[in-house]
Amino acid sequence: MDDAFVRPVQDILKHFDVSENKGLSAEGVEAQRKQFGPNALPEEPPTPLWELILEQFKDQLVLILLGSAAVSFVLAIFEGGEGWTAFVDPAVILTILILNAVVGVSQESSAEKAIAALQEYSANEAKVVRDGITKRVKADDLVPGDIVVIAVGDRVPADCRLLSVQSNSFSVDQSILTGESESVGKDTKAIKDKDAVKQDQVNMLFSGTTVVTGHAHAVVVLTGPNTAIGDIHDSITSQISQPTPLKEKLNDFGDTLAKVITVICIVVWLINIQHFNDPAHGGWTKGAIYYLKIAVSLGVAAIPEGLAVVITTCLALGTRKMAAKNAVVRSLPSVETLGSCSVICSDKTGTITTNQMSVNKIVFI
């Protein structure tokens, strides 16, 4: 019910076929749950390990290193007389790439575990009236039509329409939604403006907000992804990630490097065409292969094998320092993005602070 704030209390109760004193019956709860599902935001499944590993090899510079390792390996096969020493170069490059992937995967997987652990901390409960009995249930079990009892200090478990206030005043902290640190006074009167924004819907209680003063009864009208906080969740998850400035520069550098190395290899090989028939090579074909190996070896030597792992290590060290300050970073490039910020504009208290005063020292006089 998206228009609950413009409808009077009796219309809301009639719509859900429920009374404030009795609440929903057990059968009514099951019917609503089948229709609307649980009162929970959809959780994104954890990223599979293979996907995390592949993500580490999508960098342009890493792809160039992979290509150079493959070429070095092919050339090592033709170096029959050198034995295992011919495989040193490709082995070193692959080792560097593996170390780079291990650092990236370990950081991102640990960040996902930390975020999942934070989500499991809250055992959200709600006081609800069902079959005329007031009891506590998990917030996930709430359905549209449930009558909830809310008092000061409680976190609103779903989007609710206020039914009655059992105190002189009733106000809610909605900074989680609006960024406004000032608590909003609530009442039960219907609102005439159908286009009223969340801050002006004074007869609505929104999921995730906190009751500051008062005691009231309300009816659940929206649950899970249909709530206001669910809309925010959808807008965040639907955002298309853009490459960071460092990522763009590294990709440009990788493209330029690949073109330059390719040109150098071709030029070096073409310059030595006149030496292909040198008797020392044992024929034109063997001479062509010999100078091809020289050209490719020159190109592989020009690739900065350590650059990728150095960048990953530096970003990982940045995430460690942020973790020490209780800031969890899911993606390594996010560290570089935050470091690129020169000015951060924030909407006052309640956005980057907790909007809660605390006592640091007590002085007795």
Exactly one of 3, 17, 234, 347 is catalytic; name it: 347
Q: In this structure, what are the phi and psi dihedrals at residue 241, rounded to the nearest 5 degrees?
A: -70, 135
Angle between helices 284-301 and 60-78 (to 10 degrees): 150
The DSSP string of 43-112 is PPPPPPHHHHHHHTT-SHHHHHHHHHHHHHHHHHHH-GGGGGGGGHHHHHHHHHHHHHHHHHHHHHHHHH
Dist. CA 182–CA 238, nearest whole Å: 30
Please give the span between the terminal C-alpha atoms of the chain, in angstroms, as a whole number: 56
| Three-state secondary structure call for residue 184 | strand
CA atoms 127, 128, 129, 135: torsion sign: negative
Contact 223, 29 (CB under 8 A): no
347 tagged catalytic: yes
CA atoms 83, 85, 88, 90: torsion sign: negative
Find the helix or strand (DSSP H, E) in which 175 lies: helix 175-178
For residue 29, give the nearest of 20, 38, 21, 41 by alpha carbon.
38
For residue 315, give the nearest of 342, 341, 334 by alpha carbon.
334
Task: Annotate 84-98 with b (16+ C-beta within 10 A) or e (fewer).
Answer: eebbebbeebbebbe
The set of catalytic residues is 347
